[in-house]
Structure 1
Amino acid sequence: MAIPVIDFSKLDGEEKAETMARIANGCEEWGFFQLVNHGIPVELLKRVKKVCSQCYKMEREEGFKDSLAVQLLNGLKEGKEEREQLQNLDWEDVFILQDDNDWPSQPKEFKETMMEYRRELKKLAEKVMEIMDENLGLEEGHIKRALCGGDDLEHHPFFGTKVSHYPPCPRPDLVPGLRSHTDAGGVILLFQDDKVKGLQILKDGEWIDVQPLANAIVINVGDQIEVISNGKYRSVWHRVLASQTGNRRSIASFYNPSLKATIAPAPQLIDQTDDQAYPKFVFGDYMAVYAKQKFQPKGPRFQAMGSL
């Protein structure tokens, strides 16, 4: 079993209807799919891989050796308490890129390359949302406006890029790479390692690999798209396994709502079923709950929003 791989370029040809249907299936049945021929230049993707790997070696690798996960594993006495601590940590080096925060300074090409990449990813995210609108029968731009907080586009959506590395782990049986969770926000675009696997999704009660595929962009549905679609699209549980070999690279970009955006099921989708399956809430309130419950079932998070 493998997650769908979709040729994005076929949206411009005779196979548009079939491609739209495959994207709908990816959102409805999987919550994840991979895009190839998505329009982001391969040359840019090669530069992104290079600068992120160099950045880890030059600025991050030594610091990871002092992380709590490494310290606990190095000092492990095989006791129950230590094992429980490790299960609640992630074997991950991570930093976030936003337009207004501090970025790594090395290598010198890092910032220019990643700014160009983020511009391309943001455009791709908005194309994907337009397709979601059309597949759901929503008016053009509905999802983007919802994430911005309204028709006047008063608030900007949050667009962040999480750069992660999962170094070789001597005891992958004891510590996860990244604990299982669903993503809180809107549309997530992942440029994952094309050689070292580790990402898995939960499908029909079974954990399956998100197969490494050169130059593909993995798309997954966040919790807020689930709400806007009134449950037609579903965010799904996913995790990263630690590995004894390889240093897995992962670059995930998140097109999320403004913290002030009010999120609710699209009225057209409520009319179709006469059932509003999710409450209306402010995304910032949801994030306050998510920060405490990220690795717990998502149902109670939505319930908490309904009680506000």
Structure 2
Amino acid sequence: MALLVSSWSNGVQSIPKDYIMPPERRSGDFVSVCDEIPVIDLQENPKIDRSDIIQQILKACQEFGLFQVINHGVSEKMMEDMRVLYHEFFNMPVDDKLGVYSEIWRNTGCSLYTSGFTYAEEDVHYWKDTLKHVCHPLEEHTPSWPEKPARYREEVGRYAVEVRKMGFKILDLIGEGLGLSEGYFKGVSQDQAMTINHYPPCPNPSLAMGFFGHTDPNLITFLQQDQYGLQMCKDGKWMGIDPIPNAFVVNIGYQLEIISNGKLKSAEHRAVTNSTAARTSIGTFFGPNPSLPVVIEPAKELVTSTSPQMFKSYQYTDFLVDFLAYHRKPFPRSGTPLDPYRL
């Protein structure tokens, strides 16, 4: 438990040597906040045509691979309850978190760990602690969730249900815009997991990183954030994403880029730290179930003589193995985890 950044970083005046990133892996001196990130209003309104919303989403997915949504159906109170709950969780005494603590990242079950995928193998560590657990179906997974705070399982369970409703609403809009059959993504989104990243205040953010630049390996991600720290890369340039109160950031993952046959783009993003306030991001990930033999490939409706197939068919579990192996390579890396799957 002593490894958790939140267990030792309060009041530290300098960064430990094994948290100082090499210059090429730092965020740089200045990253401007992008005011062009699309913000899409999902509220049902007779004055707004459904097709207009679909086109806004598709354009955002094609240009940025990322957008924010408001009036999405998850109540402001529920989102505030999550902020309060996770503030309490990460500030509990370490003994209260022993039941879910792990010294390594695990792809299944529930675990609280620190830094990246393999702390013991890292040459330098990330300034974050992470709680991760599976959410669907609830009755199978809630027994493995934290027992404290006492309301955790009840409140997070309700939240997971509401985010799932929102998630499939957005996926249905994307599917309709692509011309896929109704409910197409229910067949490739059997898994729902939450990853809550906690970034304590850092005495020198210019030397440390919250998390490295990456693209999510799943289908789509919904992120609740309340402090600045998320950045995305577009056209080779990093730009910041300011939080909007009670909005979700929607992030396209690799599987959606592949299923769309390259029509939608996955977004590379990273997390930076700050010196004045802790940042806690609450991410919900939809994707194939890694425990099942799920085949991923471009949707047949999107492969034509004028739009030939861009990616191979593959087992999702094989992709995850390759994805993790790629991110365990020493920096700097070449290419992307998608390269072996391109035709």
Q: Which bracket does the TM-score occupy, shorter chain normalised?
A: 0.7 to 0.9
Distance 1:111 1:165 in 2: 19
Paired residue for 1:80?
Answer: none
Are the equivalent residues in 1 in contact too, given 2:66–2:251 (CA < 8 A)? Answer: yes
Q: Which segments of 5 or more consecutive residues in structure 1 lack a partner in the other structure?
A: 70-83, 149-156
Are the equivalent residues in 1 in contact too, given 2:114–2:129 (CA < 8 A)? Answer: no
Distance 2:334 2:257 in 1: 11
Distance 1:47 1:8 in 2: 22
**2:279 aligned partner, one-letter code:** R
Are the equivalent residues in 2 in contact too, given 1:35–1:216 (CA < 8 A)? Answer: yes
Is the aligned partner of 1:168 residue 2:201? Answer: yes
Find the partner of 1:266 among 281, 299, 303.
Answer: 299
Is the aligned partner of 1:105 residue 2:147? Answer: yes
Would the alpha carbon gap of residues 166 and 14 (structure 1) be closer, same or farther in structure 2, given more than 3 Å must change? same
Paired residue for 2:252?
Answer: 221
Are the equivalent residues in 2 in contact too, given 1:190–1:250 (CA < 8 A)? Answer: yes
Is the aligned partner of 1:284 residue 2:337? Answer: no
Paired residue for 1:44?
Answer: 78
Per-residue deviation at 1:292?
Answer: 1.7
Paired residue for 2:123?
Answer: 85
Are the equivalent residues in 2 in contact too, given 1:182–1:294 (CA < 8 A)? Answer: no
**1:112 aligned partner, one-letter code:** E
Residue 164 of structure 2 aligns to a residue whose secondary structure is helix
Residue 9 of structure 1 aligns to a residue whose secondary structure is coil
Paired residue for 2:183?
Answer: 141
Is the aligned partner of 1:183 residue 2:216? Answer: yes
Find the partner of 1:117 among 135, 143, 159.
Answer: 159
Is the aligned partner of 1:95 residue 2:121? Answer: no
Aligned sequence identity (%) = 30
Q: Which segments of 5 or more consecutive residues in structure 2 lack a partner in the other structure?
A: 1-33, 104-112, 116-121, 136-140
Q: TM-score, normalised by structure 2?
A: 0.75
Are the equivalent residues in 2 in contact too, given 1:10–1:19 (CA < 8 A)? Answer: no
Distance 2:151 2:114 in 1: 30
Can you list the C-alpha shifts for 1:68-96, whole angstroms capped at 9, x where unaligned?
Answer: 87xxxxxxxxxxxxxx933xx22111011
Would the alpha carbon gap of residues 217 and 97 (structure 1) be closer, same or farther in structure 2, given more than 3 Å must change? same
Paired residue for 2:15?
Answer: none
Are the equivalent residues in 2 in contact too, given 1:182–1:298 (CA < 8 A)? Answer: no
Would the alpha carbon gap of residues 12 and 293 (structure 1) be closer, same or farther in structure 2, given more than 3 Å must change? farther
Paired residue for 1:24?
Answer: 58
Per-residue deviation at 1:50?
Answer: 0.8
Residue 58 of structure 1 aligns to a residue whose secondary structure is coil
Are the equivalent residues in 1 in contact too, given 2:223–2:283 (CA < 8 A)? Answer: yes
Are the equivalent residues in 2 in contact too, given 1:177–1:240 (CA < 8 A)? Answer: yes
Q: 1 or 2, which has the higher helix percentage? A: 1
Matched residues, number: 279
Can you list the C-alpha shifts for 1:22-54, whole angstroms capped at 9, x where unaligned?
Answer: 111111111111110001111111111111111
Are the equivalent residues in 1 in contact too, given 2:114–2:128 (CA < 8 A)? Answer: no
Can you list the C-alpha shifts for 1:259-301, whole angstroms capped at 9, x where unaligned?
Answer: 2210000111111634111110010000011112237779553
Per-residue deviation at 1:236?
Answer: 1.5
Per-residue deviation at 1:174?
Answer: 2.1
Are the equivalent residues in 2 in contact too, given 1:279–1:302 (CA < 8 A)? Answer: no
Are the equivalent residues in 2 in contact too, given 1:280–1:306 (CA < 8 A)? Answer: no
Distance 1:8 1:143 in 2: 19
Per-residue deviation at 1:171?
Answer: 2.5
Would the alpha carbon gap of residues 183 and 274 (structure 1) be closer, same or farther in structure 2, given more than 3 Å must change? same
Can you list the C-alpha shifts for 1:82-125, whole angstroms capped at 9, x where unaligned?
Answer: xx933xx2211101122426222222112111010011111111
Would the alpha carbon gap of residues 173 and 283 (structure 1) be closer, same or farther in structure 2, given more than 3 Å must change? same
Bigger mean CA deviation after superposition, 33-42 or 92-101: 92-101
Q: TM-score, normalised by structure 1?
A: 0.83
Are the equivalent residues in 1 in contact too, given 2:39–2:70 (CA < 8 A)? Answer: yes
Distance 1:50 1:224 in 2: 32
Distance 2:200 2:305 in 1: 48
Would the alpha carbon gap of residues 238 and 61 (structure 1) be closer, same or farther in structure 2, given more than 3 Å must change? farther
Residue 129 of structure 1 aligns to a residue whose secondary structure is helix
Distance 1:54 1:263 in 2: 39
Per-residue deviation at 1:303?
Answer: 3.7
> Alpha carbon RMSD of aligned pairs, Å?
2.6
Distance 2:152 2:213 in 1: 30
